[in-house]
């Protein structure tokens, strides 16, 4: 992941600026991008103009070389095959390609944890786990919103549910 040209934060905005026929690529964090676009932040100076096509090709080559080495030990699928086909080979691929899949999943879904509905036919243990995840998420939101009364109720509900889990295991 690229770093911001002005600080050490990850770059989330990539700007291709053409000045006097020369291509300049800027990688900026959200804060510096807003400042740059509003005109309050000057562009980073660079003596050599950036060759956009060469930079993109170099980045693609680096990614391909890095990903070509990633192989699932269980099914043998490579990360490159996954990217080309759009399907994983087995359940173990999630661990084998974890560092590449996490940003991809976050980008697509905005979350890495399931936050949707739970199937009615799911086993009781799965339902309890899903309910705990949901309650903890609500608890985090309540604390962020400084709604401590709701947070206390949610905390108690989580404790009861965890207590039930412990009682089921005995």
Burial grade of 117 (CB within 10 A; 0-12, 13-18, 19 or more): exposed
Q: How do residues 67-96 score in pLDDT, each as one tens digit?
A: 667 889 989 998 888 877 888 889 888 888
Mean pLDDT of 108-128: 72
Decide: pTM greater than 0.85.
no
Domain boundaries, the chain: 1-44, 69-109, 124-169
State the pLDDT confidence band at 55, using cuts at 50, 70 and 90: very low
- 141-160: average pLDDT: 92
pLDDT computed for residue 155 by the predictor: 94
| pLDDT band of 149, cuts 50, 70, 90 | very high
Separation of first and last alpha carbons in the chain: 47
In the predicted structure, residue 153 carries a pLDDT above the cut 90: yes
The rounded distance, in Å, linking the Cα atoms of 166 and 160 is 10
pLDDT bucket at 49, cuts 50 / 70 / 90: very low
pLDDT digits (tens, 9 = 90+) for 11-22: 888 888 777 877
CA distance 61 to 56: 9
| 111 token code pair | 């979350």
């Amino acid at each position: 992941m690229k770093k911001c040209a002005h600080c050490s934060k990850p770059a989330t905005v990539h700007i291709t600026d053409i000045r006097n026929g020369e291509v300049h690529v800027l990688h900026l964090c959200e804060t510096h991008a807003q400042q740059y676009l509003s005109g309050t932040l000057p562009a980073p100076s660079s003596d050599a103009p950036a060759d956009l096509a060469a930079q993109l090709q170099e980045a693609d080559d680096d990614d391909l070389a890095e990903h070509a080495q990633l192989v699932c030990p269980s099914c043998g699928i490579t990360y490159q095959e996954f990217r080309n086909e759009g399907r994983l080979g087995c359940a173990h691929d999630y661990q084998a390609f974890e560092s590449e899949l996490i940003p991809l999943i976050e980008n697509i879904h905005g979350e890495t944890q399931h936050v949707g509905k739970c199937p009615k036919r799911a086993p009781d243990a799965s339902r309890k786990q899903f309910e705990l995840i949901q309650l903890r998420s609500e608890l985090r939101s309540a604390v962020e919103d400084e709604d401590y009364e709701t947070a206390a109720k949610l905390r108690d509900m989580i404790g009861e549910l965890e207590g039930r889990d412990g009682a089921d295991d005995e």
